[in-house]
Each structure stands twice: as structure tokens, then as C-alpha cells.
């Protein structure tokens, strides 16, 4: 099954890639201005237009994936550099640079840093 969503605005895919913010979900690839992230057997794509598409065999997993993508894109675009998520990463995979955080390649996709972000809590 699949699900479609939209942020209602264009997404700067370059900023999304530089932030590494999709890494907490799973392995990420960037092709022709779109981001693709694997979550187990499921997958989601984020397009520069702001549209998001998710595919999964399992409805519950698909909902979780779409939610995590929404949160992660918000973190990428709106990070205030508060550092709260850094304190929740046990793998030293989050660095801060010019008041924004970046998720490094050594992220193990545990997802522990996603929902602790105040940007998410206040949605
Ligand atoms: S807490 Fe660290 S290892 Fe876990 S998803 Fe976030 S950055 Fe990756
Ligand atoms: S917790 Fe703070 S530093 Fe981490 S992504 Fe959210 S706003 Fe940025």
C-alpha cells in the first residue's frame, strides 16, 4: 500500500541532504533532486515540490514512516541548534555547526533523536 502527503511548500533538497536528518530513519539516497529513505522493507520519497510518497506492506509501519519523515524534514529545515537531540544520541552521531545540527554517517538509525526535538513536540 502507499500514502501521499505534502508539506504545502517546496523543500530545499540540498539542505535536507546536508543536514543528514533522514539518516535516523534508515539508509538514504538522493537522486535527481529527490530524497529516498528505506525503513526496513518500506520506503519513502521526498520531492523538491514538497510532496511525499510512502510505500509499505504494513499500514501501521507506513503511518510511522510518514510521521518520521514529516518530523525529520521539519528538523532539517527549522533546526534552531538547541542541542537537545545531541544529548539523546549514544553514538556521537550528531554534530553542531553554525547553530544547526547535522546527523553524521555513523548514525545507526535508532531514531532516538527524532521525537525529543522541541520542533516536533510543539506541532
Ligand atoms: S540518536 Fe544518534 S544514532 Fe540514533 S538516530 Fe539519532 S543520530 Fe542516529
Ligand atoms: S533538538 Fe534542537 S538541535 Fe536537535 S534538531 Fe531539534 S532544534 Fe535542532
Domain ranges, ordered by start, for the chain: 2-115
The finding on whether 89 has its CB within 6 A of some atom of ligand 2 is no
38-87: pLDDT as tens digits: 999 999 999 999 999 999 999 999 999 999 999 999 999 999 999 999 99
Query: How far is the C-alpha of 44 from the C-alpha of 65, rounded, in Å?
Result: 7
- Closest Cα partner for 23 from 11, 2, 7, 39? 39
Q: Give the list of residues 6+ apart from residue 77 with CB closer than 8 angstroms, or none.
A: 11, 12, 15, 16
Is 28:22 a contact under the CB 8 Å cutoff? Answer: yes
Whether the predicted pLDDT of 120 surpasses 90? no
The predicted model gives 12-37 an average pLDDT of: 96
The finding on whether 85 has its CB within 6 A of some atom of ligand 2 is yes
Q: What is the CATH number of domain 2-115?
A: 3.30.310.10
The model scores a pTM over 0.75: yes
Q: Which residue has the cell 535527481?
A: 32
Whether the predicted pLDDT of 122 surpasses 70? no
The finding on whether 82 has its CB within 6 A of some atom of ligand 2 is yes
Amino acid at each position: 500500500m502507499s500514502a501521499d502527503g505534502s508539506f504545502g511548500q517546496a523543500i530545499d533538497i540540498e539542505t535536507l541532504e546536508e543536514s543528514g536528518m533522514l539518516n535516523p530513519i534508515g539508509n538514504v539516497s538522493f537522486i535527481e533532486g529527490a530524497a529516498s529513505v528505506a525503513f526496513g522493507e518500506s520506503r519513502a520519497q521526498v520531492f523538491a515540490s514538497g510532496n511525499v510518497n510512502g510505500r509499505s506492506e504494513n499500514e501501521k509501519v507506513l503511518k510511522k514512516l510518514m510521521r518520521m519523515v514529516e518530523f525529520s524534514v521539519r528538523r532539517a529545515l527549522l533546526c534552531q541548534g538547541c542541542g537537545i537531540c545531541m544529548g539523546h544520541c549514544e553514538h556521537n552521531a550528531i554534530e553542531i555547526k553554525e547553530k544547526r545540527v547535522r546527523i553524521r554517517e555513523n548514525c545507526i538509525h535508532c531514531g532516538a533523536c527524532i521525537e525529543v526535538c522541541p520542533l516536533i513536540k510543539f506541532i
